[in-house]
Chain A
Amino acid sequence: MYKPIESYGVIGDMHSVALVNMDGAIDWCCLPYFDSPSIFAAILDHQKGGSFRIAATQESQHRQMYLPDSNVLVTRFLGSDGVGEVVDFMPVQPAGATKTHEIVRVARAIRGHIRFRLECRPAFDFARRPHRVLLDGRGAIFDSGPQKFALISRFPLHCLGDGVAVDFVLHPGESATFILRQIEDVHARGLLETRLQGEEALHETLQFWRNWLKGCRYQGRWREMVYRSALLLKLLTFQPTGAIVASPTCSLPETIGGERKWDYRYSWIRDAAFTVYAFLRLGFTSEAAAFMSWLEERARQGGAHGPLQVMYGIDGRRELPEVELPHLEGYRGSRPVRIGNAAAEQFQLDIYGELIDTIHLYNKAGSPISYDLWKHLRQMADWVVGHWEKDDDGIWETRGGQQAFVYSKVQCWVALDRVLKIAQERSFPINAERLARERDRIYETIMQRGYHAERASFVQHFGSEAVDAANLIMPLVQFVAPADPRMLGTLERTLEELVSDSLVHRYAIGRGACDGLTGTEGTFNMCTFWLVEALARAGRLDEARFLFEKMLTYANHLGLYGEELGPLGETLGNFPQAFTHIGLIRAAIKLDANLGSEK
């Protein structure tokens, strides 16, 4: 049985994550890294995908919460006979340490004697690679050949098919710790005792998250939601390289049964730049510094269509071949499941604007950038000068042919504008006159060809009449004044044509660009937060605040969002998604600033 996407919480160690359902099941986990093959993927095929469940056997209500200021998740089972809990986390180790990837699960009886059942059924490599189960004194070993995991359990495990199970009763106040750990060798001597290990790991993991969150400068009205968003974004950073994944899942559909579902376990330049921007606005600079190092490496490599590629593997690799997995039925039958991402080959002009805008902020709020990075920026700017007039695939990565997307042109303007600003602020050598001339030419072109006078709105692409929610970014990047009549008109058209009960569609499918796909999709959460920010900037504060508060009601029980929302408020698309939480952080900061200090 498939569970609602929003019924999951997430834990992680900044190498990968696990999705933990309210019923106590881990239904998604790729180890050791975000973009490794899965070990648990029941969310994509509830029969074959594999899962790891620990749950009270009594009939119970389920609740979930995070331990305060952390990514340590507690799943609660409330029954008439008692209350049980499972505490889940992935220990975080210092950068550079020899990493043992683990999922620690601590079952506890809070009230009454609680009977739990543990069932662990891994399915390696998206259920493509068989494994054997070996029981030993410490628990069980799952050996698939290249990958091996030990499940360490004090209670004796029993083989059930290609998994293991155990029932156990915990007395009031008692706990039992289970550790799923990657191992190199089935014969290696390993951990036998889990209680002490689990207690120490829990203490250290809590300390890590709480110390990190102390660096957050946000003190506004929506602290709880902003903190959760920050914790999630940190969870999506890949500690060894500084790369940031867009989402830790793949192929969760944008409509049930629909074609639109992609693998987001990679680092998009756009998403990562937005994430770093959000980190910087919250006062976190070390994440930005790590990303800058990663970025310099990518800039050194170059891309097929320009100085950078649209996205990379978290280790910096450029090839992300997209393949379908026909043996998996997909979430609620949403075939095909895809891994890899063909959009890596796309030509998207906007990435330079988003990136250089973030570097501009980093140069001011983080650390002054190096000359070598500056040289890369200058090279990017030169490239934008030579290419901005080309059609591209756009921010939405449409697969229906390239267009002159207005959003892409705006971001080209941002790229040149911010390079000029950095040059001025740091007195870096540059041919400012040439860049400024080209920047202005982009500006005038957008105003002439990207604006539809009769519709009184900016449009999706040159020659189109359709509106696109991406254009809500214009006042956010200071391309246009928030109350400029052209922007106010765009806001009105967006509200009329793309907004449904305060929620924003990216574009009206069938109007504007053909996106090359069939079916429909939900409303796009980040665009809803962009609308909040655009309204706030336009001085429509009451409206913006109401819309923001309304949007908060669509978060799941833990404050997490996926990519999109369906008509019933259900989460659609990959989950949880950085984009949405970035939008939330930006909108909260802007609203707070415009509302003033009165709370």
Chain B
Amino acid sequence: MSDRHEPQTQPPAAYLDRSAADWLAGLRSNDALERRLAAYALGEIGPTAKVLAQTELLAALGDAEPFVRVWAAAALARVAPESIPQALASLVDATGAEVYWIRSLAAWQLGRLGPATPGIDAALPPLEALRNDPDRNVRTEAEHACKRLRRNS
């Protein structure tokens, strides 16, 4: 079973009735929650936002807020598949975050990328390590992610 192309239906050209350009402006907001939402929205719009958003999403991998970096990485992997290596590296890096919910978020996003994502095997060792994380939520997300990524292996 292919897990690569997510929805069978055509990805939307806009997200919640706002265009990619509108959302891109949010990626430059001073509000970290707005940047997170913008990254997510661009990811939902998908490859049609690539020309507009790839560079800014790549830049967002260096955002000051760790959770914005995670959401930007997840979006980048959907918007621009050729940037998956950078997205993966950013997510793997987040599995070592100090704050538990960033580790949990990173584990979840890695699992959501799916087993067909090129280079995803590199995520398995850090995810395995998170299965022994001191936090139960992190362990649970890591468990789910490992299960999902090993599905086709």
Contact call A195/B137, Cβ cutoff below 8 A: yes
Q: Name A135's closest neighbour in chain B (CB-CB).
A: B33
Nearest-Cβ distance from residue B82 to partner chain A, whole angstroms: 21
Question: 1/0 per residue A146-185: CB within 8 Å of B?
Answer: 0000000011111010000111110111100000000000
Which chain A positions have C-beta within 8 A of B101? Answer: 192-193
Nearest-Cβ distance from residue A162 to partner chain B, whole angstroms: 15
Q: Name B15's closest neighbour in chain A (CB-CB).
A: A167
Q: Name B18's closest neighbour in chain A (CB-CB).
A: A158
Bound complex: CA A174 to CA B114 (Å): 11
Contact call A113/B16, Cβ cutoff below 8 A: no
Q: Which residue of B6, B67, B105, B141 contacts A113 across the interface (Cβ within 8 Å)?
A: B6
The answer to whether the Cβ of A1 comes within 8 Å of any Cβ in the partner chain is no
CB within 8 Å of B: which of A520-564?
Answer: none
The answer to whether the Cβ of A112 comes within 8 Å of any Cβ in the partner chain is yes
The answer to whether the Cβ of A137 comes within 8 Å of any Cβ in the partner chain is yes
Which chain B positions have C-beta within 8 A of A113? Answer: 6-8
Contact flag A155-B3 (CB < 8 Å), given A58-B9, A112-B8, A167-B15: no
The answer to whether the Cβ of A484 comes within 8 Å of any Cβ in the partner chain is no
The answer to whether the Cβ of A136 comes within 8 Å of any Cβ in the partner chain is yes
Contact call B41/A196, Cβ cutoff below 8 A: no
CB within 8 Å of A: which of B63-109?
Answer: 67, 71, 101, 104-105, 108
CB within 8 Å of A: which of B128-153?
Answer: 136-137, 140-141, 144, 148
Bound complex: CA A91 to CA B35 (Å): 34
CB within 8 Å of B: which of A51-89?
Answer: 58, 81-82
Which chain B positions have C-beta within 8 A of A168? Answer: 44
Which chain A positions have C-beta within 8 A of B44? Answer: 167-169
Contact call B37/A158, Cβ cutoff below 8 A: yes
Q: Which residue of A82, A135, A136 contacts B8 across the interface (Cβ within 8 Å)?
A: A82
CB within 8 Å of A: which of B26-66?
Answer: 33, 36-37, 40-41, 44
The answer to whether the Cβ of A115 comes within 8 Å of any Cβ in the partner chain is yes
Contact call B104/A81, Cβ cutoff below 8 A: no
Contact call B7/A169, Cβ cutoff below 8 A: yes
Q: Max chain A CB contacts within 10 Å: which of B7, B71, B104, B141?
A: B7
Bound complex: CA A157 to CA B3 (Å): 26
Contact flag A156-B137 (CB < 8 Å), given A173-B148, A174-B112: no
Main secondary structure of the interface of B (DSSP, over half): helix
Contact call B33/A136, Cβ cutoff below 8 A: yes
Contact flag A195-B36 (CB < 8 Å), given A81-B8, A174-B112: no
Which chain A positions have C-beta within 8 A of B33? Answer: 135-137, 156
Which chain A positions have C-beta within 8 A of B37? Answer: 135, 156-158
Bound complex: CA A165 to CA B148 (Å): 27
Which chain B positions have C-beta within 8 A of A173? Answer: 148
Bound complex: CA A155 to CA B44 (Å): 11
Q: Which residue of A167, A169, A172, A195 contacts B141 across the interface (Cβ within 8 Å)?
A: A195
Contact flag A156-B112 (CB < 8 Å), given A136-B33, A173-B148, A196-B137: no
Q: Which residue of A115, A174, A196 contacts B136 across the interface (Cβ within 8 Å)?
A: A196
Contact call B9/A156, Cβ cutoff below 8 A: no
Contact call B148/A167, Cβ cutoff below 8 A: no
Contact call B140/A195, Cβ cutoff below 8 A: yes
Nearest-Cβ distance from residue A136 to partner chain B, whole angstroms: 7
Contact call A154/B108, Cβ cutoff below 8 A: yes
Contact call B114/A167, Cβ cutoff below 8 A: no
Which chain A positions have C-beta within 8 A of B12? Answer: 167
Q: Name A82's closest neighbour in chain B (CB-CB).
A: B8
Which chain A positions have C-beta within 8 A of B1? Answer: 172
Contact call B140/A171, Cβ cutoff below 8 A: no
CB within 8 Å of B: which of A113-139?
Answer: 113-115, 135-137
Nearest-Cβ distance from residue B45 to partner chain A, whole angstroms: 10
Bound complex: CA A39 to CA B137 (Å): 30
Which chain A positions have C-beta within 8 A of B104? Answer: 193
Contact call B136/A171, Cβ cutoff below 8 A: no
Q: Name A136's closest neighbour in chain B (CB-CB).
A: B33
Which chain A positions have C-beta within 8 A of B3? Answer: 171-172
Bound complex: CA A137 to CA B36 (Å): 9
Nearest-Cβ distance from residue B102 to partner chain A, whole angstroms: 11
Which chain A positions have C-beta within 8 A of B8? Answer: 81-82, 112-113
Q: Name A114's closest neighbour in chain B (CB-CB).
A: B7
Q: Which residue of A135, A155, A174 contacts B40 across the interface (Cβ within 8 Å)?
A: A155
Which chain B positions have C-beta within 8 A of A172? Answer: 1, 3
Contact call B7/A156, Cβ cutoff below 8 A: no
Which chain B positions have C-beta within 8 A of A115? Answer: 7, 9
Q: Which residue of A137, A155, A157, A193 contacts B137 across the interface (Cβ within 8 Å)?
A: A193
Q: Max chain B CB contacts within 10 Å: which of A81, A171, A172?
A: A171
Contact call B9/A81, Cβ cutoff below 8 A: yes
Contact call A196/B140, Cβ cutoff below 8 A: yes
Contact call A171/B67, Cβ cutoff below 8 A: no
Bound complex: CA A193 to CA B12 (Å): 28
Bound complex: CA A336 to CA B41 (Å): 42
Contact call A156/B16, Cβ cutoff below 8 A: no
Q: Name B65's closest neighbour in chain A (CB-CB).
A: A137
Contact call B112/A171, Cβ cutoff below 8 A: yes
Bound complex: CA A113 to CA B44 (Å): 13
Bound complex: CA A167 to CA B9 (Å): 14
Bound complex: CA A156 to CA B75 (Å): 12
Bound complex: CA A166 to CA B141 (Å): 21
Bound complex: CA A82 to CA B105 (Å): 26
Nearest-Cβ distance from residue A134 to partner chain B, whole angstroms: 10
Q: Name A57's closest neighbour in chain B (CB-CB).
A: B9
Contact call B114/A165, Cβ cutoff below 8 A: no
Bound complex: CA A115 to CA B71 (Å): 18
Which chain A positions have C-beta within 8 A of B41? Answer: 158
Nearest-Cβ distance from residue A202 to partner chain B, whole angstroms: 14
Q: List 12 A-B contacts (CB under 8 A).
A: A58-B9, A115-B9, A137-B67, A158-B41, A166-B16, A167-B44, A169-B44, A171-B6, A172-B3, A174-B148, A193-B101, A193-B137
Nearest 7 CB-CB pairings of A with B: A193-B137, A156-B37, A113-B7, A81-B8, A156-B40, A113-B6, A196-B140
Q: A136-B33, A195-B137 given. 20 additional CB < 8 A pairs?
A: A58-B9, A81-B7, A81-B9, A82-B8, A113-B7, A115-B7, A135-B37, A137-B67, A155-B40, A156-B40, A167-B12, A171-B112, A173-B148, A174-B112, A192-B137, A193-B104, A195-B140, A195-B141, A196-B137, A199-B140
